[in-house]
Amino acid sequence: MTDYEAEREIDLGRWKQAAIERWWIVAAGLVLGAIIGGLYSLTGGSLYQAAVLISPGQAFSPSGAPVQNYYSSPRGVNDFVTNPATLEAAAKQAHASLSQLRGHVTTATVLTGSGSTASRGTVLIQIVVQLPKVKKAEDAATALSNIVIAETTSKYVKASVGVINSEIQSYGAELSALTNSIKTLNAAVASATDPVLKATLAIQADSAAQRYATFSNNLATARQQLALAQSVEYPVQIGGISAVKTTARSRRNSILVGALIGLIIGAIAAIVADVRARRTSVA
């Protein structure tokens, strides 16, 4: 062992002994640091976190296969929500400033089941807004939810819904016309005296009834497709806005960090006091 290493061992031993002998200085530093850390945590004020859940829209092809859409993915929603243009639009609706929202809006993926995700329908996106005032936080979260729902619906889904609505209107018109035709034919059958004419009218009435049943089934299918689009293919908000109060700084962490710093300072103070005492005794 070199002289340097021996001196270092002696110094470390003296420091340790000094901290033990003057333990009250170390303890005072620990307590004072914890108190200062606790007081520091109070200076950050309070914040409110408003969270909203969004179910991203999932488009399907006519055969029922999922159609990939970037803006319905968690990454796409996050990029869209944190975009400055989106934040500015939400800030205007919430009567807040862009600087208040910038850096205080986050998104997170929420899985609705365990295991690997089998489909897009099992993924929810949580949008969280953190602001000093609860009303503005809730208003901003609501605005972002409305913007996401309005802007992330794919053009394909909108076009598909337009086609379905046209089909529903067409089927409805056909059914109304067939209803009148069936009534007219049934009345003609009832009043006909010629057996041949009566049979012909009855066949026409039966044919109209069959067509009515076909269009009725088509209408039911179209309405199911529309319901699917409105509940699955369109993004929707799940539940309401939930806001919770939090603090700008974690009190627990501030106390722990303050106590650690105070402990270190107290140990240094004890060592310095020991060194000065030794010098005084030597002098």
Residue 179, pLDDT score: 94
Q: Residue 162 above 50 pLDDT?
A: yes
- Does 196 have pLDDT greater than 80? yes
* Residue 181 pLDDT exceeds 90: yes
Q: Which residue has the tokens 């806005």?
A: 241
Q: How many CB atoms lie within 10 A of CB 227?
A: 11
What average pLDDT does this structure show over 216-230?
89
pLDDT (mean) for 77-101: 90
pLDDT band at 119 (very low <50, low <70, confident <90, very high): very low
Would you state the pLDDT for residue 225?
85
- Confirm whether pTM is higher than 0.75: no
As a whole number of Å, the CA-based R_g of the chain is: 37
